[in-house]
A = this chain, B = another copy of it.
Amino acid sequence: MITPKPYVFKVRYYETDKMGIVHHSNYIRWMEEARLDYLEQLGQSFESLEADGVISPVVSVSCQYKVSCVFGDTVEIRVKLIEYTGIRYAFAYEIVRAGSGESAASGRSEHCVTNKDGRPVVIKRKFPEFDRLLRECVRE
């Protein structure tokens, strides 16, 4: 299996707030960008999941902020699948300021898959390909 590359991007101006730093809520959005990029690198696009009539809502999210990212920063996010139960999966994120190499924040998010009406889907049964992928990733 390939090892996905970190997600790299430049801070956008509108992501800053009047403290002069990136607003903390944007790190949560960045984690999503990095997560979907990670899955896509592995061949699992979010669109194809949604095309099958399911959604994958966020069950929980957390972030610890260490050093503030600012406009002008290039940010690198390292994603790791850290848990998969057959129903839920969780990622860990390391958010790094690419210039200095210092860790700006670390985060975690947990997800499930549900029908449009909100009922949980057993990934293993309904999406055997995705199941295999998640099991492989979590093993590494």
Q: What residues on B are CB-neighbors of A36 within 8 Å?
A: 13
Enumerate A16-75 residues with CB–CB distance to B below 8 Å: 16-21, 23-26, 28-29, 32-33, 36, 45-47, 50, 55, 57-65, 68, 71-72
Does B47 lie within 8 Å of A58, measured CB to CB? no
Q: Smallest distance from the beta carbon of A133 to chain B beta carbons, Å?
A: 19
Least distance between A57 CB and chain B CB atoms (Å):
7
- A contact set with B: CB distance below 8 Å: 12-14, 16-21, 23-26, 28-29, 32-33, 36, 45-47, 50, 55, 57-65, 68, 71-72, 118
Does A61 lie within 8 Å of B58, measured CB to CB? no
> How far does the alpha carbon of A13 sit from the alpha carbon of B19 in the complex, in Å?
10
22 CB < 8 A contacts A-B: A13-B32, A13-B46, A14-B29, A14-B32, A18-B20, A18-B21, A18-B50, A19-B55, A24-B57, A25-B28, A25-B32, A28-B28, A28-B61, A45-B72, A46-B71, A47-B71, A47-B72, A57-B68, A58-B65, A60-B65, A61-B62, A61-B65
Overall SS of chain A's interface:
mixed
**Residue in contact with A33 in the complex, picked from B13, B20, B57, B68, CB distance below 8 Å:** B13
Contact indicator B118/A68 (Cβ below 8 Å): yes
